[in-house]
Amino acid sequence: MTATIIDGKAFAEKVRGQVAAHVARLKADHGITPGLAVVLVGEDPASQVYVRSKGKQTVEVGMASFEHKLPADTAEADLVALVQRLNADPEVHGILVQLPLPSHLNSDLVINTIDPAKDVDGFHISNVGLLGTGQKAMVPCTPLGCLMLLRDHLGSLSGLNAVVVGRSNIVGKPMAQLLLGDSCTVTIAHSRTKDLPAVCRAADILVAAVGRPEMVKGDWVKPGATVIDVGINRVERDGKTKLVGDVDFASAAAVAGAITPVPGGVGPMTIACLLANTLTACCRANGLAEPEGLTA
**Residues forming the active site:** 54, 98, 121
Closest residue to bound ligand NDP by CB: 168
Residue 122 binding ligand NDP, by CB under 6 A = no
Stretch that binds ligand NDP, among 95-103, 121-129, 207-215, 234-242 (CB under 6 A): 207-215
Residue 48 binding ligand NDP, by CB under 6 A = no
Quote the CA–CA distance of 180 and 174 in Å, as a whole number: 10
Tell me how far, at minimum, the Cβ of 58 lies from ligand NDP, in Å: 16
Total residues contacting ligand NDP by CB under 6 A comes to 26
DSSP codes joined into one string, 133-165: TT---PPPHHHHHHHHHHHHHHS--TT-EEEEE
Task: Considering only residues 217 through 276, tell me which ones interact with ligand NDP, judged by CB under 6 A.
Answer: 230-233, 246, 266-267, 270
Task: Considering only residues 172 through 201, tell me which ones interact with ligand NDP, judged by CB under 6 A.
Answer: 172, 189-193, 196
Helical H runs in the chain? 8-30, 45-60, 76-88, 107-111, 125-132, 141-154, 172-181, 196-201, 249-253, 267-285
CA angle (53 as vertex; 47, 57 as ends), nearest 5: 145
Residue 170 binding ligand NDP, by CB under 6 A = yes
Tell me how far, at minimum, the Cβ of 107 lies from ligand NDP, in Å: 13
Tell me how far, at minimum, the Cβ of 109 lies from ligand NDP, in Å: 19
Cα distances (angstroms) measured from residue 112 to each of 100, 108, 132, 146: 15, 6, 17, 25
Contact 214, 248 (CB under 8 A): yes
Burial bucket for residue 265 (CB in 10 Å: 0-12, 13-18, 19+): buried
Q: Which residues contact 73 (CB under 8 A, 6 or more apart)?
A: 102, 104
- In the bound state with ligand NDP, the residue whose beta carbon lies nearer, of 215 and 285, is 215
| Binding-site member from 3, 51, 209, 273 for ligand NDP (CB under 6 A) | 209
Task: Kindly write out the interface string for residues 73-102 of this chain, putting x where it contacts ligand NDP by CB under 6 A and - elsewhere.
Answer: ------------------------------
Residues in the site for ligand NDP, rule: CB under 6 A?
142, 165-168, 170-172, 189-193, 196, 209-212, 230-233, 246, 266-267, 270
